[in-house]
């Protein structure tokens, strides 16, 4: 394994958009992995963690940003342990965090069914599903603690579906051949988030956690090489203020909304993790973006976002497209022999439950080849006729009623009578802030959890592993690893609010806000966001190639210059101003988008959701394990010197012991 190709052509003029001009190779990173078999790594690490005496815990202040499953879990658990926890959210109440939108289920290798499931099989599925670009040790922790998660979430109020005899019900998700997904019809995230928010509220009432609502993180305070606080803006009053602490935990979600129209809530954004990156935290694998195969297709250019249809629907729904191009017939009038069930025919072993990256590529291939359906010819069918005939409408309604109702309300079509129309959409990001095995970023004292991080999912997340990773990070990882770090700070007080590092960071935030307000151009921030989304959709989505990525980088740079020259932010900064909020987030997207495309251009292979058309074998992703079996962790470009302005790609080598490297095969 090498760090891939080093830069060439030094001392000669190079194209400003060539790879040599865009990036340099940095250092090899140490993930601080236990020197034991991956199966034993988490047990070994917990045994060697430093502890904090219960009487000393209240002396430590911890900031947790975000109140989704990872953030609410971490804050509630640390508060329960006795730490002084400050919790920040840009929502009015914790339960509005985007974890509430997850639908299909949460995985756990509890192996309560006689289908040969186990932790080892869970790890194999997760590592293989991620196309060998995530940590094997992290996957074992996910499986080991995942067994505890179901019992824990049930105990604090999550209402899981049950079978007739009272046992918790499970179903299958993509990329596996067992039934390990626990669910609450199509609203599992909602039930888990409500339970986590209630647990957090209990600690708020107990006084161990203090909740700061409608506060947006705009910077990280770093002094002496440690994260020692944050700077936030009150979204109601516009006031900018600082909060210092012994440690900061970011659980702020992913960056999928960089594509403008995605399945994420419109408020979901990348500013917290991007601010951390700008302060020195490495950004891991930004090009690993998940395109979910079953979202509602765009029905109008005026549509503000896309809507997810749960992967669980693929248990009883069959995906097909007409065998005839531009077939305008009603789907019920198309005979069976003229329907192409392409996933079932191409992948007989897994059928419609192939991993998301595989399903999305195949759906996109059918649409692009001229077999799309619907008014805009931008979808394929998800058909429940066979499931209804086999199980009956009553059973299908029990399993998916809220999803069917939602589809009916949005489209006016009844899935019991006519097939759903579905299409791929950006849904999740496997990239995020790089962290070591203890969930600590390259800035000591700055921890990360949930989708804001990177470790579990590699180049493609398996369905129902997202809710699991958020719960595992929040309830069963950060409450161990953060105290291990704090133990070395006993006797030290949080940074004073008049410290120069604090006042300077506040000044930086205020200057950036003023800069956004003072441009006074002719277009609002959404104008630029939409243009950015069009670039990303065209050149950095389901498929990528060198020419397209190079063009995208140039277009993004031009758009970023236009933004700072012509953005118009109405209103003032000292009050509620959603245009100002949006402008700050779009400004960050315009920088992150370039790094995403540089990472995709740099990673000279296909892996999972990163599908380079110049690296494929019979339509499947062709990895290059000899040169690219590592995590790319990008650092902030230098401001001066021969490599000024170039993105710095550090790397953490990945090794696989329990699940040896092999080409994925779902056929």
Query: Residue 9 sits in a domain of what CATH number?
Result: 1.20.58.100
Closest CA to 128 of 324, 358, 346, 286: 358
Mean pLDDT value of segment 613-623: 93
CA angle at residue 96 from 90 to 100, to 5 degrees?
135
What is residue 190's three-state secondary structure? helix
Six token digits for residue 334: 């198309």
Q: What is the pLDDT of residues 117-172, one digit of tens each?
A: 999 999 999 999 999 999 999 999 999 999 999 999 999 999 999 998 999 999 99
> Which residue would you say has higher pLDDT here, 328 or 455?
328
> Could you give the count of Cα atoms lying within 13 Å of 313 in the half-sphere of its Cβ?
33
Q: Which two tokens stand for residue 647?
A: 């993105």
Check: CB of residue 277 under 8 Å from CB of residue 283: yes
Residues 421 and 503 in one domain: no
Question: Is 503 found in the same domain as 414?
Answer: no
Give the tokens for residue 271: 């500013």
Give the percent of the chain with pLDDT over 90: 94
Residue 7 pLDDT exceeds 60? no
The mean pLDDT of 199-210, rounded to a whole number, is 98
Q: Please say if the pLDDT value at position 5 is more than 50.
A: no
- Rounded distance between C-alpha atoms, residue 176 and residue 130, angstroms: 12
Query: In terms of residue numbers, what domain contains 540?
Result: 2-23+498-653
At 370 the three-state DSSP class reads: helix
In contact, 316 and 444? CB cutoff 8 Å: no
Among residues 656, 666, 535, 548, the alpha carbon closest in space to that of 611 is found at 548
From the centroid of its chain, how far is CA 278? 19
Domain boundary among 425, 452, 484: 425
Sheet with strand 647-653: strands edge to edge? 23-28, 647-653, 630-635, 283-284, 432-433
Within a domain: residue 182?
no
Rounded CA-CA distance 422/331 in Å is 13
Please report the pLDDT score of residue 1 as a whole number.
Answer: 47
For residue range 341-354, what is the model confidence (pLDDT) as tens digits?
A: 999 999 999 999 99
Kindly report the backbone phi and psi dihedral angles of residue 226, in degrees, each rounded to the nearest multiple of 5, phi listed first: -120, 145
* Domain end (from 425, 445, 478): 425
Residue 639 to residue 652: CA distance in whole angstroms: 24
Check whether residue 531 and residue 417 sit in a common domain.
Answer: no
Residue 459 falls within a domain, yes or no?
A: no
405-453 pLDDT tens trace: 999 999 999 999 999 999 999 999 999 999 999 999 999 999 999 999 9
**Do 405 and 513 have their domain in common?**
no
pLDDT at site 8: 38
Domain count, the chain: 2
Task: Check residue 186 and give its pLDDT.
Answer: 85
Residues 503 and 609 placed together within one structural domain of the fold: yes
| Residue 14: per-residue pLDDT | 63
pLDDT at 185: 84
Q: Are residues 517 and 387 in the same domain?
A: no
Based on the fold, state whether residues 531 and 645 are members of the same structural domain. Answer: yes
Q: What is the pLDDT of residue 15?
A: 85
Percentage of the chain lying above the pLDDT 70 cut: 98
Q: Cβ–Cβ contacts within 10 Å for residue 557, how many?
A: 15
Residue 467 lies in a domain: no
What residue has token string 């900018």? 240
Find the range with the poorest average confidence among 10-14, 32-36, 37-41, 74-78: 10-14
Per-residue confidence (pLDDT) for residue 183, from 0 to 100: 95
Please give the C-alpha separations between residue 175 and each of 116, 245, 370, 387, 666, in angstroms, as whole numbers. 15, 42, 27, 20, 8
Tell whether 30 is covered by a domain. no
> Measured between alpha carbons, how far is 612 from 621 in angstroms, rounded to an integer?
8
The pLDDT of residue 618: 87
DSSP element (H, E) containing 272: helix 271-278
DSSP helix/strand/coil, 500:
helix
Domain match, 540 and 406 both: no
pLDDT at 16: 85
Q: Give the three-state DSSP class for 650.
A: strand
Is residue 99 pLDDT above 50, yes or no?
yes
Q: What's 330's domain CATH number?
A: 3.90.700.10
Q: Which residue among 425, 454, 481 closes a domain? A: 425
Q: Please give the radius of gyration of the chain, using alpha carbons only, rounded to the nearest integer.
A: 24
Span of 71-85, 291-305, 590-604 with lowest mean pLDDT: 291-305
Cβ-contact 456, 134 below 8 angstroms = yes
b/e burial code for range 299-336 (CB count within 10 A of at least 16 → b): eeeeeebbebbbbbbbbbbbbbbbeeeebeeebeebee
Asked if residue 12 has pLDDT above 80, the reply is no
Residue 397 inside a domain? The answer is yes
Closest CA to 286 of 622, 588, 613: 588
> Same domain, yes or no, for 627 and 502?
yes
Domain membership of residue 437 (yes or no) is no
The answer to whether residues 421 and 502 belong to one domain is no
> Do 302 and 408 lie in a common domain?
yes
In a domain? residue 663: no
Give the integer Cα–Cα distance in Å for 144 and 476. 10
Q: Dihedral sign for Cα 342, 346, 352, 356, please.
A: negative
- From 120-124, 184-188, 262-266, 539-543, the region with the lowest mean pLDDT: 184-188
> What average pLDDT score do residues 167-184 get?
94
**Residue 532, SS3 per DSSP:** helix
Based on the domain organization, do 373 and 520 belong to the same domain? no
| Contact between 432 and 254 (Cβ < 8 Å) | yes
pLDDT beyond 80 at 478: yes
Q: pLDDT digit string (tens) for 647-660?
A: 999 999 999 999 99
10, pLDDT greater than 70: no
Q: Looking at the domain assignment, is residue 643 inside a domain?
A: yes
Please identify every residue annotated as catalytic: 356
């Amino acid at each position: 394994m090498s760090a891939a190709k080093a830069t060439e052509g030094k001392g000669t003029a190079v194209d400003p958009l060539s790879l040599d001009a865009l990036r340099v190779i940095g250092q090899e990173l140490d993930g601080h992995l236990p020197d034991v078999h991956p199966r034993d790594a988490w047990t070994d690490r917990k045994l060697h963690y430093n502890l904090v005496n219960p009487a000393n815990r209240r002396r430590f202040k911890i900031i947790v940003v975000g109140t989704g499953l990872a953030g609410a879990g971490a804050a509630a658990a640390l508060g329960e342990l006795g730490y002084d926890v400050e919790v920040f959210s840009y929502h009015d109440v914790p339960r509005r965090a985007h974890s509430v939108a997850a639908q299909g289920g949460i995985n756990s290798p509890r192996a309560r069914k006689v289908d040969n499931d186990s932790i080892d099989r869970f790890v194999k599925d997760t590592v293989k599903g991620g196309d060998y670009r995530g940590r094997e040790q992290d996957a074992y922790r996910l499986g080991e603690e995942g067994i505890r998660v179901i019992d824990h979430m049930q105990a604090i109020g999550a209402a899981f579906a049950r079978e007739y005899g009272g046992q918790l019900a499970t179903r299958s998700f993509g990329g596996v051949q067992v039934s390990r997904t626990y669910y609450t019809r199509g609203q599992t995230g909602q039930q888990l988030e409500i339970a986590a928010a209630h647990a957090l509220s209990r600690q708020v009432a107990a006084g161990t956690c203090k909740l700061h609502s409608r506060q947006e993180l705009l910077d990280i305070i770093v002094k002496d090489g440690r994260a020692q606080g944050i700077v936030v803006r009150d979204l109601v009053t516009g006031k900018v203020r600082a909060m210092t602490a012994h440690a900061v935990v970011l659980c702020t979600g992913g960056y999928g909304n960089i594509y403008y129209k995605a399945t994420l809530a419109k408020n979901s954004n990348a500013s917290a993790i991007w601010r951390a990156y700008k302060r020195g935290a490495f950004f891991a694998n930004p090009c690993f973006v998940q395109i979910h195969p079953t979202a509602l297709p765009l029905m109008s250019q005026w549509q503000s976002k896309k809507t997810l249809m749960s992967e669980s629907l693929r248990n009883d729904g069959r995906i097909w497209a007409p065998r005839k191009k531009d077939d305008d017939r009603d789907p019920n009038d198309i005979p069976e022999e003229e329907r192409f069930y392409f996933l079932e025919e191409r992948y007989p072993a897994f059928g419609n439950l192939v991993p998301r990256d595989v399903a999305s590529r195949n759906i996109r291939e059918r649409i692009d080849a001229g077999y799309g359906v619907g008014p805009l010819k931008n979808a394929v069918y998800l058909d429940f006729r066979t499931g209804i005939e086999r199980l009956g409408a009553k059973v299908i309604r029990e399993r998916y009623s809220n999803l069917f109702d939602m589809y009916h309300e949005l489209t006016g079509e009844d899935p019991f009578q006519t097939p759903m129309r579905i299409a791929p959409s950006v849904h999740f990001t496997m990239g995020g802030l790089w962290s070591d095995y203890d969930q600590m970023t390259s800035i000591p004292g700055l921890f990360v959890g949930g989708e804001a991080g990177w470790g579990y999912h590699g180049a493609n997340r398996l369905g129902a592993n997202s809710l699991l990773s958020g719960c595992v990070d929040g309830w069963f990882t950060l409450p161990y690893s953060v105290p291990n770090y704090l133990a070395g700070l006993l006797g030290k007080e949080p940074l004073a609010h008049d410290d120069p590092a604090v006042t300077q960071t506040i000044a930086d935030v205020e200057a950036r806000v003023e800069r956004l307000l003072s441009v006074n151009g002719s277009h609002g921030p959404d104008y630029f966001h939409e243009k950015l989304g069009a670039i990303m959709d065209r050149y950095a989505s389901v498929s990528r190639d060198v020419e397209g990525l190079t063009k995208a980088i140039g277009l993004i740079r031009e758009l970023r210059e236009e933004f700072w020259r012509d953005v118009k932010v109405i209103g003032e900064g000292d009050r509620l101003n959603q245009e100002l909020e949006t402008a700050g987030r779009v400004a960050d997207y315009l920088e992150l988008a370039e790094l995403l495309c540089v990472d995709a251009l740099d990673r000279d292979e296909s892996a999972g959701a990163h599908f380079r058309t110049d690296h494929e074998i019979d339509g499947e992703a062709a990895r290059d394990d000899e040169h690219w079996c590592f995590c790319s962790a990008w650092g902030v470009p230098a401001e001066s010197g021969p490599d000024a302005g170039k993105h710095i790609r550090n790397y953490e080598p990945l090794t696989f012991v329990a699940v040896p490297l092999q080409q994925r095969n779902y056929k």
